[in-house]
Chains A and B, each alone.
Chain A
Amino acid sequence: ETGVTQTPRHLVMGMTNKKSLKCEQHLGHNAMYWYKQSAKKPLELMFVYSLEERVENNSVPSRFSPECPNSSHLFLHLHTLQPEDSALYLCASSPRLAVHTDTQYFGPGTRLTVL
């Protein structure tokens, strides 16, 4: 138990569906992250939030839409996804932003399959 929870753990959706991934951290951290983990690729940073403000968007397609309503919650809204978007989506948090020695605490991930 890392203090970061993600729901759902598994999700199967069609290309025309709309769904949302939820992340909650109970650690009092200021920074939150969305990552994509695909086979044979390094972890890809998608979005970074600091104190509810988006500070980084790494050229992610608009079919992925993040939302951070408060410093404890992070959502990833999904719509009209493609099969190549199938992957493990990981949420992480850290005490502060841009401190390279800070630990990132990861949730267990959502395994997404797009049909």
Chain B
Amino acid sequence: TQLLEQSPQFLSIQEGENLTVYCNSSSVFSSLQWYRQEPGEGPVLLVTVVTGGEVKKLKRLTFQFGDARKDSSLHITAAQPGDTGLYLCAGANAGNNRKLIWGLGTSLAVNP
């Protein structure tokens, strides 16, 4: 059974701080997606990473896919209250593309 472990589970920081959250597995994935879910809403895709070692930037967010395609990290620079939410990672397996493997998420609170 493939699993994705996300850490930390909860994170509360002050506005302006930097942070990194992690998504780890012992399995290889064809691609990995990061979503953000705000209270009362569904998850919204932030990025998809496909190539081992790939780095993608989205404004203050930097995503990295591990060289072996088993793990990923999300780094936020100068966090803002608008970054508050649940960050979910989801892995796709080339053998069963229709079913994403989801992590439990990191719940981030950025305090003004």
Residues of A whose CB lies within 8 Å of any CB of B are: 2, 4, 31, 40-43, 45, 48, 55-56, 58, 90, 92, 97-101, 103-109
Contacts and interface: CB of A to CB of B under 8 A. Distances in A.
Interface stretch (B59-67, B76-84, B97-105): B97-105
A43 B88 contact: yes
A23 B76 CA distance: 33
Nearest to A4: B42
A104 B100 contact: yes
A98 B33 CA distance: 15
Interface centre among B4, B48, B93, B100 (most CB of A within 10 A): B100
B100 A106 contact: no
Contact of B104 (A41, A55, A108): A41
A45 B99 contact: yes
Interface bracket on B: 20 to 34
Given A41-B104, A42-B103, A108 B48 contact: no
A52 B110 CA distance: 42
Contact of A42 (B42, B48, B50, B102): B102
Nearest to A92: B42
B40 interface: yes
B44 A56 contact: no
B99 A106 contact: no
Contact of A101 (B50, B101, B102): B50
Give me the 5 closest cross-chain CB pairs, A-B, nearest first: A106-B42, A100-B92, A42-B102, A98-B97, A100-B97
A15 B30 CA distance: 41
